[in-house]
Amino acid sequence: MGRGKIEIKRIENATSRQVTFSKRRAGLLKKAYELSVLCDSEVALIIFSSTGKLFEFSSAGMKRTLSRYNKCLDRSEPSLVQYEQERQQSEEVNILKDEIAKLRMIHLQMMGKELNGLSLKELQHLEHQLSEGVSSVKMRKEQLLLEQLEKSRLKEQQAMLENETLRRQVEELKGLLLSTERPMPPFLQFEPVRGKYALVKPDVISSSVICNCAVEKQVDSDTSLHLGLSNEVFRKRKAPEGASCSNDSGAGRAPS
């Protein structure tokens, strides 16, 4: 026959309570010993009776077990905090993984893939997003092209200014070189002689008509030689001219 179940409550009879305490204490100490031996665990048991008596059992020494117990208590709070932080971080990691998966799916849908699970409304929304994206890309492209054109125009203007400056510098250098290589001729004075102009220096008196006649006679003699005429024929032809030349010479000497 098996034992009947005992109601777990305080035993009112002192004698029965003491007997039950002794039996249960012995069984509890026996079970603690068996647990330490069978499972190779460190077990410590402390019992205080209702009268204040101490009963204890320790498989590795009570002080050692209590010291280890105190160390575990000191580290229990940080361990709990660290565990809580790790749990929160793991939850955040899981949330981020879900968001990354959603973003990858959206990216594939933007590329025209994985469209089988979308409804008509979702496809229309996706089409609207793509059209807005294309318009934004075109606007940005036009803006960049305009900026590049403006930069090119500024560079062209700057290059034209530089070319103009260089051209002026080259012309100035050419003018300086020409002025140094070709010196200016000396100043000469023009005076009329018998309807013609002759170059005479300023310090020479240009009123000698006799010399001019002599020069003309020499030129005429040269001409007669080229024509093959004799000197006598040539003198006869030029006699009137000689007379007029003497008259002019006399007129020129008169004022002196």
Q: Looking at residue 5, what is its pLDDT?
A: 75
Q: Looking at residue 175, what is its pLDDT?
A: 85
Question: Looking at residues 226-241, what average pLDDT do you find?
Answer: 51
Share of the chain above pLDDT 90, in %: 30
Q: Looking at residue 177, what is its pLDDT?
A: 84
Domain boundaries, the chain: 14-60, 189-253
Rounded Cα–Cα distance for residues 220 and 234 (Å): 8
Overall pTM > 0.75: no
Tell me: the pLDDT tens digits for 81-124? 676 788 888 889 999 999 999 899 888 888 888 788 788 888 88
Tell me: the pLDDT tens digits for 193-227? 554 444 444 444 444 444 444 444 444 444 444 44
Q: Which CATH class is domain 14-60?
A: alpha beta
